[in-house]
Each structure stands twice: as C-alpha cells, then as structure tokens.
Structure 1
Amino acid sequence: MVTNPMRIRGKRTVNKFILGFAVLIPLLAAANDDKPDIARLIADNQLQISLTRQTPKSTIARQAVILQIEVATNRWFSRGTQINKFHLDNAVVLPFDGAAFNSSRMIDGVTWAIQSREITLYPLVQGDFNIPAIDVFVSVNTEEYGVVEGNWQSAPLSFYVSQPKQLALVDHYVVTEKFKVQIDSDFDRSASYQIGDSVTQTVKISAQQVPAMMLPELIDPDIEGINIYSEAPVLNDQRQRGEFSSSRSQTRTLVFEQAGDYQIPAQTFYYWDPERSALQKKKLAGFSVTIATDPTQRPVSEKNQQLIPVETIPWTMIIITSVVLLLLVVALKFRQQLRKFYRTVTRQQRRHYRRDYISACHEERYRQASEYLYQFLRTGKAHYPTLQDYFPMQPQRTYLQELFALAYDINEPNPNKKLVTRGRFARRKMLSLLHPRAMPESNNRESMEILQLNPRD
C-alpha cells in the first residue's frame, strides 16, 4: 500500500495545532483565575473609592443634600464609572446619569486619574434618614491584567433632618439662598376694559439648588365673571460651572365675561434662607380692574305712540307695569348684591365646592380635590390661612396627609403606618374631611403661639 506524503504532513500539522490548543486552555484559565477584582485593586492600592457628604451636616426639610463618589486609579479608566439607582422614602432623588467630572492628582509621586459623580437628594420631612449601600460600577485599565471591571458598594449613611418652628404652618416652601419671582403682563391700568377683553400674565419663578419640580405653583383664583385659561408650566433645570439652578414658567389668560369691579388677589411664595436661618417671602402682586358693559349695545329708540284719552287709560295696568319695571331696574342695578345674597342664604357656592371635591376624589384628581376642600371649608364659619389648620386632631390630620401624598406624589410622615403614593382615597376618609374636628382650648393657645412666630398676610 502506497501512502501519500502530503496527507501525512497534513495530519501532523493538525495534531500539533490540537496539542498547542490543549496546552493554551489551562494557561488561559490560570491567567483568569489570577486576574484581580475591584476589591483586590483597592487592597493593592491601585484603586481608591470614597463617598463623602459635600453639604453641611445640619439639614432642614426640603434642603439639598449632596453626596460625592470619587474613584481614583493609578492607570486610566476603561468604561468609567456608573452609579446604580436607589430609592429613599420621603425624599426626592435627582437623576445622576449625567457626565462625570474628570481630573487628576499626584499621589506619592504618581499621577492618578480621578472621576467624580454627585448625588443630590431632597428630604421632604423631618426625621432620620438612612441611605442604603450605594452600588457603583467601575471599569479601569490596569498595567498587568488589562481591563478590570466590577461593582463596589458604599457603607450605609445616616443623617437627621430638622424643621424650624417658623415652617410648621407653611404649606409649601423651598430652601434656597436665591429665590426670584418675575411677571410679564400686558395689563394696563389706564386702559378701559370691556366684556370679552383679556389680560395675559407670564410668571417665572426661579431658584438655586432647587429642582424645578419642587418650585411652587401659580394658583388661579376662582372669580365669577372671569374665566382663567392656564397653559402647562415650562420646567427647566440647568447646571453651569457647578451651580445648579431651575425655573418654572407659567402663562395664564384672564378673560372678562361679565361687567363689574374685580380684584385679582396677590399670591405669596415662601422660602427658607439657610444663610440667614430665616423665613423669607416673595409676593406676586395682584390688581383691580373695572369691566364696562359692551358699548355696541344701544337702547332701542322709543316709537311714536298715539295719545290715549285720559278716561280710557287703564290705571291699574299702568301701576302694575310700573311696579314690575321698577323691580326689574332695582334687580339689574343690584344684581351682584342680590346674587351674593342668594348664595349666602342658599349656600350655593359651598354646595358646589362640596360636590366638586367629592367628584374630584372619585376621579382621582386629588390635587383639584385638595383645592376644592379648602374652598369648601373657607365658606364655613372658621377661616384659616392654610388647609392644615382645619385639621389639628387625629385621625383627620393623617387623612389630609394621605390626600396630599396622592395629590403631590410624595409620602408624608405617619407614626402608625407607611403611606403609599399611588391608589384611591377611601370614601370614609374623604367624607370625614368635610367635617373637621375642633382642637381643645389648651392646644388652640399653643397653635396661636406658633402662628405668632410665622405671621401670614
């Protein structure tokens, strides 16, 4: 039998390749077993990771708390760093998907590459806060082992949030050193406004170290005879040279539908200045306007009438007609007062607020429900500056906090149970808030002392 020399050489080449591959596999496996992880790089002083708090330790509710995670390597980064999201009850945690801050530093004569990321959160209530372990992804390029990737976890961090007494009865406030309210309006005090005319206002609220979602809203007054159309607010958050600022711009148009004298109320915005440790306020000025009747409407001219002999004049009909006309004139002249008197006697507006409040709760429009509830209670015997003042007693105060949690998508403190930010408002709680319970006399005196610390307009 004759053997082909070319076939023999081919078999030998294949056998050598298989043998070499078999030897290489254990070597690769051994190399992978020796490749360090993130913890090993930290232990070998090739990687440093730290979590520090950049803001003062004394924090009040709604004040920014800034944490900084710094990763340093004696080589360079491969895919960089990334912070995994976490949840913190009763707090707003801003997204931290933005670009990291890159720098370098000399450590023991060696230049280290540094990458820093910030976490900004806003605790909303007074109490203890426990930040869980934060998971950080790190990818670096080492000299000996190439790219090394893995996760690092920080130690849990705890801090306490306080609330000054001056803020106890303030419904909404922000914590900032710079707070500004600007208005652009086409209202002209010297102009003569008539039915069908309108006034457009654009109100811009801006602040530093406050996200736009936490800035106060522009409240539209409920005035009969004026229809208000509000556009969706424009929210803007921006960072420039390390400074975080935001703004909320909202435009509304007031259309005058009835003649009369109107007063557009002012609105006060509160903010806490941490530099001065004082409660400050900015006021959006109101204005008054008189709406005249439509000048195009002219009285119909009287037609010439044939004279009727005195003896044939129906005096009874004339007297009755005169009395009816007189009553009509009086009714037209004093229609606003009569309408107000009718509402006072029949409590029409109060019934409307009650109906709108129940309807808004059923339809899960909880923010409007809170406004209707406040208007309903304001038409009663008691008049308080805030909705919380009507409910000094439990469990109604807890019910109100649950309604606020559903309306503004935040959790409020509850010593008995954890509130949820999604769901329906129980019917019994909804009806209970229509009948506030009075506070004992001793507690009333204490509330008046707090109000003296925080006077309202």
Structure 2
Amino acid sequence: MQTVKALYQYSCQSVSKLLFIALLVTFSTISSANTPLSVEDLMQSGALKVSISLKEQSQIVPRQQAILEIELISSHDFSNNMKIDFFNIDNAIVAKSFAKTGFKIEAIEGKEWYIQTKEVALYPLKEGEYNVASIAAEAFINVEGKVVSGKIQTPPYKFNITRPEKLEGIKHYIASSKLEVVREITKQPEQALTIGSAITIKREFHGDNLHGVMLLDLEPIQFDGAQIYEKPANKSDGYDVLDDISQAHLTSSVTLIFQQEGLFKLPAETVLWWDTTKKQLKTVTVPEMSFQVGESTDEIIANVPQKAESQKPTSTSIINWWLVIMISTALLFVLAIMKVIKNNKQIIAAHFNQSTHYKKLVNRYLYAIEHSEHQIALACLYQIADIKHNNNTALKALVKNDEEQATLQLLFTSAYYKKQVTDSISKQRAKALLQTIINKKFETHFFTPVKFDMKLN
C-alpha cells in the first residue's frame, strides 16, 4: 500500500509540473504575439532601410547651396511623413527645411517598395571635407493596420567642397542661381528739391536657391550735406512651391533729409555674384543716383539707366557730323537734278509732247481698225513709224515676222482694194502689228537721249 501511495503522489507531482510548464509556454507565446513590432525589428528584418547622400549637382563652391537627401525605403506603406531632427555640421549653415517630403513607389528585384525622401539645404562656408554625423529620423510605418513608429539613425556621411580658380582670393560674393539687386526711390517728389526735402531710398536683394544668412550685409550710406535715417536691414527666407526652390530676401530703406543746396551724388554699388547655373563670376552694379537740391535746370535726376561698360555710347558730336554729311549729300543730289533739267529743258519738253502725240496716234489707229477705217489706220502707222506717207516699202521693212507681214498686207489691200478683201483684221492682230513697229522704232531713234553733265558749275 505504501508503494502504491508513493507512486500516486509522484504521478500527481509530475502532472502538476507538466501543467505548469504548459501554462508557462502558452503565456509566453501569447505575450510574444501581443508585443508590437518596432522600427528596429523592421530594419533587422530588412523591411526598412535608411540612406543619406548629397543630391547630384555639378561642382559646389563655398557659400553655395548643397542639398542633403535622406531616404527611407520600406516594404510596408507609410502612415505619415518622416520627421528629421535638427542637426549641425561644422563650417556649414543648415537651413530649415521648407521642402515637402517626397514619396514614390518602385519595384526593386520584383518586389514593391515604398520610398520617402526629405531634402535639407546646407551652405558650406569654405572648401574641404565635411563630416555629417548620424541624423535621427522618425519613421511612421503601417504594418497590417497598425502604426509602427520610432527613430532611426542615418549612417555617417562625408563629402568634399572645392574652390574654383575664378574664386581664388575672393571672400565676399553671393552664390545663387539668380540674383536681383535694386536701389530706387520709393516715391518721386512732386516738386523740386530744396533744403529740408526728404527722399526715401529702398535697397533690396533677391536670390534663388539661397538662404538669407548668405546674403551680404549692406554697406551703410554716407552722405555729406544730408541727415541719414536708415532702418535695420530685414533678411527673410521663403520657398517657391511651383519652382521647388528656396528664396532669400533682404530689404532696407534709407531716408535722406537735405541740409544744403547743391548736386548730391550717391555712388554706384557693386556686388560680386557667382552664377551657380553658368559657373561664372559676375558683377551686378546698381547705377549712381544724383539729386539736385536748390535752383537748377534739372529738378531731379535719379534712377537713370546706365549702359554696361562693354556698350560704348554713341557720341553726340559723331551723330551731328553724320547728319550734316547726309543733308549735304541730299542737297548736292537735288542741285544736280535741277541742273540736268535746266540744261535739257527743251529736250524733255519735246519728249513729253512726242509721247502725248504718239499716244493719240495709237488710240486713233485702234479706233480706225475697230470701225474698218483702214486708210486712216494705215496713215496712223506711217506717222508712228515716222515714214513718209505711201512709202510702203519702208513700212514693210520694219516688219520681219510672217504673221505681222500678212496683217500689214491685208491692211494695204483693205485700204486700197476693198472689193478684193475676203478677210477682216481683228483687234488682236492689229495690236501685234503696232507693237512690232514700235519695238523696231525703239531700236533706232524713237527718243533722243538726255545729256547729263557732271559739272554743276
């Protein structure tokens, strides 16, 4: 009995241990099943990746905008845009990011991946190697209807900035894709300037792909003979959503109150600009401004456009000389024409009368043909050809074409032997005959040439 009782107690203890172990395993399984995934788990499994790189650009010079691009790649969709913690880089200015988070879907090795990108603008201040430490990025991943969020660290990154030869030894310049410099009077005075008159001048810089901190400080205006009230310069940053570019603005205003009469000149201002698009060093110059205070023929001279140095203005004296030469040439030409007309007055008058006479003869000839007055038509041909009347041989000598000869012979027959005529002369044939005779006369002495004498005196 004792043996049986001992076996019974041992079996009960074993079953209890087995039940305890089973409950412990079940509880552990349930607990692990309810534990949510983390971004670290997604990265370890390869479902989430992070990278950092400098956006592909041509040579970047000191003070020029460089774009650092952080990219998240996930096998699951994102529930929200990533967030980037602010970070610093030695010898560079890190601008606040205005750009929206980029998103796209790509198929990589037959698998669909969701990609988010965030761009941060940097402005390296000098040439050399730059080290970017790990940057914290917060990701929001949608895994089977649940949001998995957390911060992950980007790998360290390095890049180099070089200085081109064109910028060697130059410290103060603005590196931008577009730069505008303005200096103008905000309101033109309605009356002439006198002692006590005030003028407010606006000064403005505008640059694309630029941060306001990178804009140069304005040189203070120094003006003898006037009180100067200058407002502090205001630098601001913006973002053009349509062109996807950052923009920088600098505005300032200066009020001048004139204390004495005279001509006041505000010198021109020059800014060195590195054109990041064309990789060229350029000079932007705002023109000199002049103000006349007190009595003067010019009440105010300001904002006068200045030509670039490469454009040489045309001298007024040169223009005047050219004008004199042109007028003199025109007068000589007119005098020459008048001399020719005077010397050939009788010839020109004769030509005019002769032309009018021949026009009447031609009209009379055509009228006679149309009304079958062939003797009158033949008489007109003699006068047009300047041949003695009834000199048939001389008239025939002017007509070489067989068709026109036949027309002329028919005209002779119609004029002197009407009863033998069986054909009529059409107006078209009569015109062809007339044209042949006129052309022949032009080859001989139809007009006497006008003589031109180059000697005006």
Structure 1 length-normalised TM: 0.53
Give 1:198 shift: 1.6
Partner of residue 177, structure 2:
177
How far apart are the structure 2 equivalents of 1:178 and 1:220?
24
Partner of residue 82, structure 1:
83
Which amino acid in structure 2 is aligned with residue 197 of structure 1?
Answer: S
Which amino acid in structure 1 is aligned with residue 74 of structure 2?
Answer: T
How far apart are the structure 2 equivalents of 1:31 and 1:40?
14
Partner of residue 216, structure 1:
216
Over 3 Å counting, the alpha-carbon distance change for 1:171 and 1:288 in structure 2 is: farther
Over 3 Å counting, the alpha-carbon distance change for 1:170 and 1:221 in structure 2 is: farther
Partner of residue 118, structure 1:
119
Q: Give the alignment's Cα RMSD to 1 decimal.
A: 3.0
How far apart are the structure 2 equivalents of 1:24 and 1:185?
84
- Give secondary structure in 2 for the equivalent of 1:290: strand
**Which of these residues, 260, 283, 286, is aligned with residue 284 of structure 1?**
286
Partner of residue 154, structure 1:
154
Q: Deviations over 1:253-307 (max 9, x none)?
A: 22212333322111111111233332111112222223228xxxxxxxxxxxxxx
How far apart are the structure 1 equivalents of 2:47 and 2:78?
12
How far apart are the structure 1 equivalents of 2:103 and 2:57?
24
Q: Deviations over 1:102-146 (max 9, x none)?
A: 3333345554433211011001122221111112111212128x3
Whether contact under 8 Å (1:105, 1:111) holds in the other structure is: yes
Over 3 Å counting, the alpha-carbon distance change for 1:162 and 1:227 in structure 2 is: farther
Which amino acid in structure 1 is aligned with residue 288 of structure 2?
Answer: G
Give 1:57 shift: 6.3
Which amino acid in structure 1 is aligned with residue 227 of structure 2?
Answer: N
Give 1:154 shift: 1.9
Match status 1:64 vs 2:50: no
Whether contact under 8 Å (2:98, 2:239) holds in the other structure is: no
Give 1:189 shift: 10
- Give secondary structure in 2 for the equivalent of 1:40: helix
Partner of residue 385, structure 1:
none
Partner of residue 303, structure 1:
none
Give 1:186 shift: 4.8
How far apart are the structure 2 equivalents of 1:97 and 1:237?
8
Deviates more, 1:146-155 or 1:65-74: 146-155
How far apart are the structure 2 equivalents of 1:32 and 1:98?
38
Which amino acid in structure 1 is aligned with residue 210 of structure 2?
Answer: V
Over 3 Å counting, the alpha-carbon distance change for 1:148 and 1:266 in structure 2 is: same
Give 1:168 shift: 4.2
Give 1:203 shift: 2.6
Over 3 Å counting, the alpha-carbon distance change for 1:107 and 1:126 in structure 2 is: closer
Over 3 Å counting, the alpha-carbon distance change for 1:70 and 1:246 in structure 2 is: same
Partner of residue 262, structure 1:
264
Partner of residue 389, structure 1:
none
Partner of residue 375, structure 1:
none
Whether contact under 8 Å (2:54, 2:159) holds in the other structure is: no
- Give secondary structure in 2 for the equivalent of 1:77: coil
Trace 1:247-326 onto structure 2 (pairs within 5 A). Answer: 247-292=249-294
Partner of residue 32, structure 2:
30
Structure 2 length-normalised TM: 0.53
Whether contact under 8 Å (2:73, 2:114) holds in the other structure is: yes
Over 3 Å counting, the alpha-carbon distance change for 1:163 and 1:110 in structure 2 is: closer
Over 3 Å counting, the alpha-carbon distance change for 1:186 and 1:88 in structure 2 is: closer
How far apart are the structure 2 equivalents of 1:251 and 1:183?
9
Whether contact under 8 Å (1:220, 1:228) holds in the other structure is: no
How far apart are the structure 2 equivalents of 1:224 and 1:25?
90
Over 3 Å counting, the alpha-carbon distance change for 1:197 and 1:110 in structure 2 is: same
Whether contact under 8 Å (1:78, 1:147) holds in the other structure is: yes
Match status 1:105 vs 2:101: no
Which amino acid in structure 2 is aligned with residue 139 of structure 1?
Answer: F
Q: Deviations over 1:316-360 (max 9, x none)?
A: xxxxxxxxxxxxxxxxxxxxxxxxxxxxxxxxxxxxxxxxxxxxx
Q: Deviations over 1:68-120 (max 9, x none)?
A: 11213233223441111111122110113764223333345554433211011
Over 3 Å counting, the alpha-carbon distance change for 1:43 and 1:72 in structure 2 is: same
How far apart are the structure 2 equivalents of 1:282 and 1:98?
29
Deviates more, 1:147-156 or 1:118-127: 147-156
Q: Name the larger-Rg structure.
A: 2
Trace 1:373-384 onto structure 2 (pairs within 5 A). Answer: none
Which amino acid in structure 2 is aligned with residue 176 of structure 1?
Answer: S
Partner of residue 376, structure 1:
none
Partner of residue 244, structure 1:
246
Trace 1:200-215 onto structure 2 (pairs within 5 A). Answer: 200-215=200-215
How far apart are the structure 2 equivalents of 1:95 and 1:25?
49
Q: 5+ unaligned residues in a row in structure 2: which ranges?
A: 1-22, 296-457
Sequence identity percentage: 25
How far apart are the structure 1 equivalents of 2:227 and 2:104?
56
Q: Deviations over 1:47-70 (max 9, x none)?
A: 232222213363211011101112
Over 3 Å counting, the alpha-carbon distance change for 1:239 and 1:22 in structure 2 is: farther
Over 3 Å counting, the alpha-carbon distance change for 1:277 and 1:80 in structure 2 is: closer
Aligned length: 271
Whether contact under 8 Å (1:234, 1:250) holds in the other structure is: no
Partner of residue 97, structure 2:
96
Trace 1:384-403 onto structure 2 (pairs within 5 A). Answer: none
- Give secondary structure in 1 for the equivalent of 2:82: strand
Partner of residue 198, structure 1:
198
Over 3 Å counting, the alpha-carbon distance change for 1:109 and 1:158 in structure 2 is: closer
- Give secondary structure in 1 for the equivalent of 2:79: strand
Partner of residue 44, structure 1:
45
